[in-house]
Amino acid sequence: MNLSWFQKSLLTPNIFEDSKNLLGVCWFKNAQVEIINKVRELVPVLETCGLEVSEMRSDSPGTVIYEDSQQVVAVPQAALESQAQKGQELEINNKKAE
C-alpha cells in the first residue's frame, strides 16, 4: 500500500485546526469512486493495527461544516443533541473549500 497516493490525491480539510469542529465526521462523496476504492484497500492494514473500520453511507450526515469536491465534514445530529442535553451550545465554524 502506497500512502503517498493519499497525500497527492486527497484534499486535506483544515477544519479540525479549530477545536470547535472536533465532533465533525468526514464523508467521501459518492462520485469519488477511486478514493473510496483506495480506502477499501487500506482497511486490512488499519485492522491489523487494531483499528475498527466500517463503511457507512448517509444522505443526511448532519450539519455540514466543510465541503470540497471530494468530501464533506459534518457534525452528526446525535452529537448536536448530546451537547444540547448537557446544556452546551456547539458553535460550528462552517468552511467551504475554494
Give the Cβ contact number of residue 10 at 10 Å: 16
Residue 98 · residue 67 · CB < 8 Å = no
Is residue 24, in this structure, part of any structural domain at all?
A: yes
Is residue 11, in this structure, part of any structural domain at all?
A: no
Q: What is the pTM of this model?
A: 0.75
Q: Containing domain of residue 83, as a range?
A: 17-96
- Name the β-bridge partners of 75: 63
Is residue 35, in this structure, part of any structural domain at all?
A: yes
Give me the number of domains the chain comprises: 1
Residue with the larger pLDDT of the pair 68 and 18 = 68
Q: Which candidate, 60, 6, 59, 14, places its Cα nearest to that of 37? A: 6
Summarize pLDDT for 5-29 with one digit per residue, the tens: 999 999 988 888 888 888 889 999 9
Is residue 2, in this structure, part of any structural domain at all?
A: no
Is residue 6, in this structure, part of any structural domain at all?
A: no
Is residue 46, in this structure, part of any structural domain at all?
A: yes
Q: What is the pLDDT of residue 85?
A: 67
